Structure 1
Amino acid sequence: MPDQRLNYISGEWLESHTGKTFETTDPADPSSVIATYPQSDAADAERAIEAARDASDEWGTTPGPERGRILAKTGSLLDQRKDDLTELLLCEEGKTWSEAGGEVQRAIDIFRYYGSKASDIGGTVKSSSARDTNLYTKTEPLGVAGLITPWNYPIAIPAWKIAPALAAGNAVVIKPASLAPGVVHEIAKALEEAGLPDGVLNVVTGPGSEVGGTIASHEAVDAVSFTGSTAVGNTVYDTATEDGKRVQLEMGGKNPTVVSDTADVEEAAEIVASGAFGVTGQACTAASRAIVHEDVYDDFVDAVVDRAAAIDHGHGLDDPDMGPHVSKSELEGTLEYIDIAQTEGASLEYGGSTLDREGYFVEPTVFADVDSTMRIAQEEVFGPVLAIISVIDFDEALRVANDVDYGLSASVVTDDHTEANHFAEEVEAGVVKINEKTTGLELHVPFGGVKDSSSETYREQGDAGLNFYSISKTVYDNY
């Protein structure tokens, strides 16, 4: 019997105003229903926003150390339930056990991190130019934060939005992605058990047009944080900024790894394959372009193909190398780009086909002889598809790396320190990796992109995450 889940509003678990529900299914076994959720509408979202508004003043004046204790206890509760959370995540989203477990651990670490950071929130004291005057700043919450999160990291991304918002003293309304919302419900349960007051966190499931649109437009919402596609993100931005909301967007990527002629080819192939095929390529930071010096190009293609061919597939509970796409539509999108690449003249070196088994599985796919103007080299493909581009030197590699509309993550594999420094300085990306894969993030440093990958307003994670959810007040005290 599938779990019957509800919205979480003002400390209560409630059915939707509509009475309608939707199901989540296992991407590796689509006939298996995991849970049902409320198909909420604008009225449900409004109710959640009003609950957050009513709770925001009291939570905002709660001392930072007390807020931090609740967040830290939440991290401990999630840790106690790690295996159950891992299984729920992989059954709804399709990750392998190792991938899902790593993501759950990240959420645990995020709550513990912001639990400790909450005690440091306050302000600064400055020396006044006048006598008998105290000059200082106070850090205050914005009020109500509206969060719209994606399916591909269904617990990590909500955690790195919820935790800093609560640490800074804001009340929260979150709309998790409909394909994998279960782990957000589990965060809510842990926060409730840890002592979070009613109304400070509210969870509403349902379509983005209804629930997300209401969050973005409602006058009681003071800040909106969105992660998802560039097309939807731009709509959210336009809606939210009409009445002056603070907005943070993290969107798509077309992330390059440059492979220098000085690189160890086997090491480079391992780095690129891990970044391209990990989590089934369903990461905004996934390596979708390998830009390779012509002197090592052929050897690199062979080495990446060998790694792609060695990948095994299966249900996440069996912990294979790769799981399925999250849904039929995502699988179809990847297959469409594979067809487009071949039509445009790219050489299919490996993969490109679905697997003869239940579920939304596709082989890791490698294209060579890719031109930078091809759609496969310009547009985001949210799947395990790698386009390999040959260049004559490092300068051309850098130009090709920057020749896209996105700028999220970029990496270079090189033994030349000068090349590494030039790459870090000149590549158009918010995250730069040297001799590392494009995926993988530290939680205590800023994360975000440039160009169409971001609103270029506020970063997430670390102190930057707190800054987005806070505002400073300057006090002149002439005594």
Structure 2
Amino acid sequence: MADTYLNFVDGTWTEASTSETFENTNPADVNDTVGVFQRSDAEDAERAVEAANAAKDEWAATPGPERGRILRETSKRLADRKDEATTALVREEGKTEPEAAGEVQRAIDIFAYFGEKAADIGGTVKSSSSQDTRLYTVDEPLGVAALITPWNYPIAIPAWKLAPALAAGNAVVFKPASLAPNVARILVECLEDAGLPDGVVNYVTGPGSAVGSTFATHEDVDAVSFTGSAKVGDTVHQQATEDQKRVQLEMGGKNPVVVTSSADVEEAADIAAGGAFGVTGQACTATSRAIVHESLYDEFVDAVVDRAESLTVADGLDGADVGPHVSESELESTLEYVDVGTREGATLETGGERLTEGDHANGYYVEPTVFSDVAPEMRIAQEEIFGPVLAVIPAATYDEAVEIANDVEYGLSASIVTNDLRESNAFVDDVEAGVVKVNQQTTGLELHVPFGGMKASSSETYREQGDAGLDFFTISKTVYVGY
């Protein structure tokens, strides 16, 4: 019998007012129920906002170093529960165990980082042009921040929103994705155990149409930070900006790796395969396109196919290289794109089949997939797939490769593999992406530098992580003191 988990509102674990629940199952084995969670509605979301609104002033008045102490203690509590959180993440989302452990460690590190940064929040002193005048700024929290997070990084993304929001002195209402709410619950328990005051963080599970929409439109919410699909993000933006809330959106990607004529093919194949097939391709920064100089094209295709075919697809707790899709609908979407690519005339070099025999019988597994002979205008070269599918596109020149890389609606992450210093520096200038890598995977982020996209990948308002993460959750006053 699976455990039933509750919402966390005003410092109390409580049932939803609906008395309804939903099951969360293991994508590696749908007969394994991870837990039963509250199917909350607008009334539950409103109670969470009321609790945060009541708690915000006291938390804002708490000295930054004390807020930081609670965040550092949260980091320690999560570190103590790392194995538990790792297993929970694998079972609900499908990552491999090393991938899940790395994500949990990222959350641990984020809370430790912002625990230290909390003491630095304050403002700046400037020289006035007038005599006998002090001129300075004061950074203050916004008030109540609503955080709406996706299933694909179910603890790292909540961490990189929660930690700066709390460090800056905001109270929070938080809706995790219904496909992966359990590891987020563990994080909230760590915050509670660390001594966070009642009402400062409120965790509510349930459908976005009820909980997320209420958060986005509620008059007592001052800021909304959302990560997810572009379609849902557009809706959140429209709802939240009707009363001029501050909004931060990070959404999809169609991320390229450009392989130039000077590149080492084996290195390029490793970089492309790692970015395309890691985390089952279920990352907004995953490599979706390899744009390869025609002189290396055939050799690259052979090399990346070899890597795809060498990967073990299995339960993330069983030593797999690639885990399952998170849900049947996500799996069906990937399989549909495989069909689309074949119909469009691309060559299916390897993969693309659902695995259904033996240990794969009860999970959402698909083989890592490589298409060659892909034209830039094909749907598999234009649309986000969110699965382990790599489209390999030929290019005759560096300029053509960059033109193809930029000719999509998204602009999140991009990489170039080259041994030419001029090309590497030119790419940084030329590519339309918020994250640019040279001789590295499109996936993988440092926690102390800004993260965000361009074009349809982002609202292009505020970046996340590092000092930029704090900027979103604070507002400045400028103070003139004559004496």
Q: Tell me how far 1:257 sits from its aligned partner.
A: 0.2
1:194 matched to 2:194 = yes
State the distance in 2 between where 1:250 and 1:327 align. Answer: 22
Letter of the 1:402 partner, please give it. Answer: N
Letter of the 1:443 partner, please give it. Answer: L
- Map Cα deviations across residues 245-300 of structure 1 (whole Å, 9 max, x no partner): 00000000000000011000000000000000000000000000000000000000
State the distance in 1 between where 2:465 and 2:3 align. Answer: 32
1:459 matched to 2:463 = yes
Letter of the 2:481 partner, please give it. Answer: D
1:468 matched to 2:472 = yes
Q: Tell me how far 1:131 sits from its aligned partner.
A: 1.6
Partner of 1:310: 310
Letter of the 1:457 partner, please give it. Answer: T
Q: Matched residue of 2:366: which SS?
A: coil
Partner of 1:353: 353
**What aligned pairs does 1:210-229 form with structure 2 within 5 A after superposition?**
210-229=210-229
1:376 matched to 2:380 = yes
Letter of the 1:248 partner, please give it. Answer: Q
Partner of 1:333: 333
1:441 matched to 2:445 = yes
Give the TM-score taking structure 1 as reference length.
1.00
State the distance in 1 between where 2:127 and 2:225 align. Answer: 35
1:66 matched to 2:70 = no
Partner of 1:101: 101
Q: Which segments of 5 or more consecutive residues in structure 2 lack a partner in the other structure?
A: none
1:253 matched to 2:257 = no
Partner of 2:120: 120
Letter of the 1:58 partner, please give it. Answer: E
Give the TM-score taking structure 2 as reference length.
0.99
Partner of 1:285: 285
Q: Tell me how far 1:407 sits from its aligned partner.
A: 0.1
Indicate which of 389, 393, 396 corresponds to 2:400: 396
**What aligned pairs does 1:22-33 form with structure 2 within 5 A after superposition?**
22-33=22-33
State the distance in 2 between where 1:122 and 1:3 align. Answer: 43
Letter of the 2:327 partner, please give it. Answer: S
Structure 1 residue runs of 4 or more that deviate by more than 6 Å after TM superposition: none
- Map Cα deviations across residues 148-193 of structure 1 (whole Å, 9 max, x no partner): 0000000000000000000000000000000010111111111111
Per mean C-alpha deviation after superposition, the further-off stretch among 120-129 and 220-229 is 120-129
State the distance in 1 between where 2:134 and 2:215 align. Answer: 40
State the distance in 1 between where 2:37 and 2:4 align. Answer: 7
State the distance in 1 between where 2:319 and 2:71 align. Answer: 30
Letter of the 2:176 partner, please give it. Answer: P
Q: Matched residue of 1:284: which SS?
A: coil
Letter of the 1:170 partner, please give it. Answer: N
Q: Tell me how far 1:317 sits from its aligned partner.
A: 1.1
State the distance in 2 between where 1:406 and 1:178 align. Answer: 25
Q: Tell me how far 1:314 sits from its aligned partner.
A: 1.3
Q: Tell me how far 1:79 sits from its aligned partner.
A: 0.4
Q: Matched residue of 1:220: which SS?
A: coil
Q: Tell me how far 1:145 sits from its aligned partner.
A: 0.2
Partner of 1:295: 295
Q: Tell me how far 1:129 sits from its aligned partner.
A: 1.4
Letter of the 1:362 partner, please give it. Answer: V
Partner of 1:110: 110
Q: Tell me how far 1:319 sits from its aligned partner.
A: 2.4
- Map Cα deviations across residues 44-85 of structure 1 (whole Å, 9 max, x no partner): 000000000000000001000000000001001100110000
Indicate which of 408, 414, 417 corresponds to 1:413: 417
State the distance in 2 between where 1:79 and 1:452 align. Answer: 36
Q: Which segments of 5 or more consecutive residues in structure 1 lack a partner in the other structure?
A: none
Q: Matched residue of 1:457: which SS?
A: coil
Letter of the 1:211 partner, please give it. Answer: V
Partner of 1:43: 43
Letter of the 1:453 partner, please give it. Answer: S
Partner of 2:83: 83
Q: Matched residue of 1:248: which SS?
A: strand
Letter of the 2:53 partner, please give it. Answer: R
State the distance in 2 between where 1:3 and 1:251 align. Answer: 32
**What aligned pairs does 1:162-173 form with structure 2 within 5 A after superposition?**
162-173=162-173
State the distance in 2 between where 1:188 and 1:154 align. Answer: 12
Aligned length: 479
State the distance in 2 between where 1:3 and 1:197 align. Answer: 26
Letter of the 1:103 partner, please give it. Answer: E
Q: Matched residue of 1:288: which SS?
A: strand
State the distance in 1 between where 2:300 and 2:429 align. Answer: 26
State the distance in 2 between where 1:329 and 1:132 align. Answer: 66
Partner of 2:240: 240
State the distance in 2 between where 1:419 and 1:466 align. Answer: 34
Per mean C-alpha deviation after superposition, the further-off stretch among 295-304 and 317-326 is 317-326
State the distance in 1 between where 2:198 and 2:481 align. Answer: 36
- Map Cα deviations across residues 290-311 of structure 1 (whole Å, 9 max, x no partner): 0000000000000000000000
Partner of 1:131: 131
Q: Tell me how far 1:114 sits from its aligned partner.
A: 0.1
Q: Matched residue of 1:4: which SS?
A: coil
Q: Tell me how far 1:344 sits from its aligned partner.
A: 0.3
Q: Tell me how far 1:3 sits from its aligned partner.
A: 1.6
State the distance in 2 between where 1:253 and 1:313 align. Answer: 24
State the distance in 2 between where 1:427 and 1:250 align. Answer: 18
Q: Matched residue of 1:3: which SS?
A: coil
Letter of the 1:210 partner, please give it. Answer: A
- Map Cα deviations across residues 176-225 of structure 1 (whole Å, 9 max, x no partner): 00001011111111111111000000000000000000000000000000
Q: Tell me how far 1:453 sits from its aligned partner.
A: 0.1
Q: Matched residue of 1:300: which SS?
A: helix
When the two chains are superposed, the root-mean-square deviation of aligned CA atoms in Å is 0.5
1:431 matched to 2:399 = no
Per mean C-alpha deviation after superposition, the further-off stretch among 348-357 and 298-307 is 348-357
Letter of the 1:373 partner, please give it. Answer: E
Partner of 1:363: 367
Q: Tell me how far 1:316 sits from its aligned partner.
A: 1.1
Letter of the 2:426 partner, please give it. Answer: H
Letter of the 2:200 partner, please give it. Answer: V
State the distance in 2 between where 1:319 and 1:48 align. Answer: 40
- Map Cα deviations across residues 110-161 of structure 1 (whole Å, 9 max, x no partner): 0000000000000111111112111111010000000000000000000000
